Structure formats: structure tokens, C-alpha cells
Structure 1
Amino acid sequence: MSHPTRRGELFGGADGARRFTGPATGDERRMLVDVLRAQRATLRLKCSGLGPELSLRSVEPSTLSLLGLVRHLAEVERRWFRRVLAGQDPPALFSSTADPDGDFDGATDDHGGIAAAWETWRTEVAFAEQFVAEAPGLDVEGDDSWRGTVSLRWVLIHMIEEYARHNGHADLLRERIDGAIGM
């Protein structure tokens, strides 16, 4: 008699399982960084093997797509790590005052949009990882127009939440595209 597997175990195989191998006890920074790393890896996994399908929308009237999520999360990384914590003033990547949902609305496969979105996301993640690695501690602070003063600790927790929420969206989007399911 064979044992049924859970539906969530079917996506990603060994690569998927390796995302969550970090410590479950010990140093707070290391745990937060590792959980965020795993959430970022989950986004990559949910988008793996796809090309133009990344720009497929969920259901009308929504403009939600996997490509939109990549673009949105690049913007989120940029906001919290470059603007708020590092105090830089770089321009927005995909949205603007006139087009606040440009990260999703403009997520199309036109003119190399997919490759550019991934490169931008990787650049912002690399900046964030370097900032966190070089920060003297989790109590480093920055000022945000929405939340006021925030610590690096809060930003890491918020980023984990942001990725986890959007990875839930990615689960459904990916299943709609090709039936791939799982954690």
C-alpha cells in the first residue's frame, strides 16, 4: 500500500526542501536573515522554469502576476533598505506618483521586461544583504514616512511578512499557469 503525499510536497523537490535549512535557535540576526533568504528563494522557485507566462494576470480586473510580484518586491526591497535604512534617495523603479501601481500594471513581457525585472530584483536583494551584513546591529534605525522610525529588526520582520504574503499569491498564480503546486 502506498502512502499518499501532501499536495504541498509536490512542488520543488529537493531544491524546494533546501530553502528552510537554517537555524531554528540561536542568534536572532542569523535566524531573521535566513528566514528572509528562504522567502526570497521561494519566490524564485515559484517563478522557475517560466518565461512569458510570468506576465499572465490572475483574474480580471486584477493586474496581479508573478512578474508583477517580482517588480513589486524589488520596489519593496529598495524602499526599506536603500531609502529608509541607508538614507539614499533613488528614484522608484517601476511605479510613480502618477502610476502608483506601475509595478503590477506595467508587468509585461515587452522589450525584455522579464530579464530586466529579475536583474533589478537581484540588485536590490544584493544591496539589502550587504546592508544587513555590514550593519552593527538590529537596532540600526531609519525614518519612514509611513511608519516613522523603524529598526533593521522591524524591517527584516516586515520583509519576511511581505514575501510570505506574496508567496501565497505566487502559489495560486503558478498553479493557474501550469498546475505546479506546493510549498
Structure 2
Amino acid sequence: MFLDPRDDPREGGSSLGDERATLVEFLRCQRLTLQIKCDGLDPEQLARRSVEPSTLSLLGLVRHLADVERSWFRRRLAGQPDVPPLFYSDDDRDGDFTGAIPDPDVVAEAWAAWRAEVAFAEQFAADTDLAFHVEYRDGEVISLREVLVHMIEEYARHNGHADLLRERIDGRLGE
């Protein structure tokens, strides 16, 4: 087992609840899964790339997901479009991954950014009606409910990548 079930922070959350409680709990567990997959690794291991020519790494996933959180919750839903991306730019669209280098300061910055964006998203979701919606692309409208579902999918997909990356680093398997 990757983690003793008695020590799993994903256990003990809301199991029966309304739609909000269910969505928030599933997203909480997906976020924790990313953190668990990275726990105990040093900067070199976190920045280790999957296979050439891919730039995929666990550290890159943390940076990428910090920007995804920021983009959906802060820039789109909270109406802060001028808040710049954290790790990518127009000049380096893949900067969240290419900038994921084995440096303790880069690792600390990534985790601090991810935690700040998750905290913002959690507070926004707690304070906002699920039906709240914004126009976000060519007249398309998206609700908080849809963003929460999308974020669960986004984390689930990338946690699959994290499973493979972690197995390659130290052979650990599991949830």
C-alpha cells in the first residue's frame, strides 16, 4: 500500500451530503492525492521528467495545477482577469513544466503558490452559490458547479500521471 488507510487524510470526510458537500469533498480528496504522491520526495525527485522528450514531472504538475486553480477560480469566476499566470507566459506556454527544476526554492515556491490558490478556491466555493456563472469564452457561460466538476476531472487525470511518475521514482504504487 502507498499509504496505511489509518493515516490517509482523505478518509473521514463527508460521505453523505448535498451536491456542494459531495463536489467539495471529491475535489478535496483529489487535491490531497496530488500532495500524497509528492510527499517524501526531494527536489531532484520532484523535478524528474517522465521520459524524453516529455517535460512532465511531479513538480511540473504542482505548478500546472496551481495555475489551473488560479485561472478558473481567481481569473475567471472571481473576475480578476488581470491576475497573471504564475508559471507560464505567452513566451513560454509550457513554463509550468519547463521551469520545474530541482531547486529547493523552486519547489517551495510551487507548493506555496498551489496552497494559496487552493485556499482562494476553497473560500470562493464556500462563499458562492453553485449556480453562480460567468461568461468566459466567446459567449459561453460556465457555473461554479461545472468548474468544480472540471477540477475533479483535471486532478483525476493528472493524478493518473502522478501515479506513473511516482512509481518510476521509487516504485511506490497505490492510491
TM > 0.5 between the two? yes
Structure 1 counterpart of 2:64: 72
After superposition, the Cα gap between the structure-2 partners of 1:140 and 1:15, relative to the gap in structure 1 and judged at 3 Å, is farther
| Greater mean deviation of Cα atoms: 141-150 or 123-132 | 141-150
Residue equivalent to 1:128: 121
Identity value in percent = 61
SS at match of 1:107: coil
Aligned equivalent of 1:42:
33
- Alignment gaps of 5+ in structure 2: none
Question: Against the structure 1 CA distance between its residues 49 and 102, is the aligned structure 2 distance closer, same or farther, given a 3 Å change threshold?
Answer: same
Is the 8 Å Cα contact of residues 22 and 31 (structure 1) preserved in structure 2?
no
Answer yes or no: is the 8 Å Cα contact 1:55–1:107 preserved in 2: yes
User: Unaligned 5+ residue runs, structure 1?
Assistant: 1-9
Question: Residue by residue, what CA displacement relative to the aligned partner does 1:102-154 show, whole Å, maximum 9, x if unpaired?
Answer: 0011111236100000000000000000101111x100112223782100000
Contact map agreement 2:9 2:32 (CA 8 A) in 1: no
Q: Which secondary structure state, in structure 2, belongs to the residue aligned with residue 19 of structure 1? A: coil
Residue correspondences, number = 173
Kindly report which structure 2 residues correspond to 1:51-66, keeping only aligned pairs within 5 A, or say none.
51-52=42-43, 53-66=45-58
The TM-score, its normalising length taken from structure 1, stands at: 0.90
Say if 1:86 and 1:142, in contact at 8 Å, map to a contact too. no
- Which of these two proteins has the greater Rg computed from alpha carbons? 1
Instruction: Note the C-alpha offset of 1:13.
Output: 1.2
Q: Is the 8 A contact 2:89 2:95 kept in 1?
A: yes
Q: Distance in 1 between matches of 2:153 and 2:18?
A: 20
> In 1, Cα distance between the equivalents of 2:48 and 2:7?
23
Under a length normalisation based on structure 2, what TM-score does the superposition of the two structures give?
0.93
Counterparts in 2 of 1:25 and 1:72: CA distance versus 1, 3 Å: same
- Listed as ranges, the matches of 1:74-89 within 5 Å are 74-88=66-80, 89=82
Task: Tell me what 2:166 maps to.
Answer: 174
Q: Distance in 1 between matches of 2:93 and 2:6?
A: 35
Q: What's the C-alpha RMSD, in Å, of the aligned pairs?
A: 1.6
1:139 & 1:29 partners in 2: Cα distance? 11
Deviations 1:18-70 (A, max 9, x none): 41433343310011000000000000000000112100000000000000000
Change (3 A) 1:78 1:15: farther
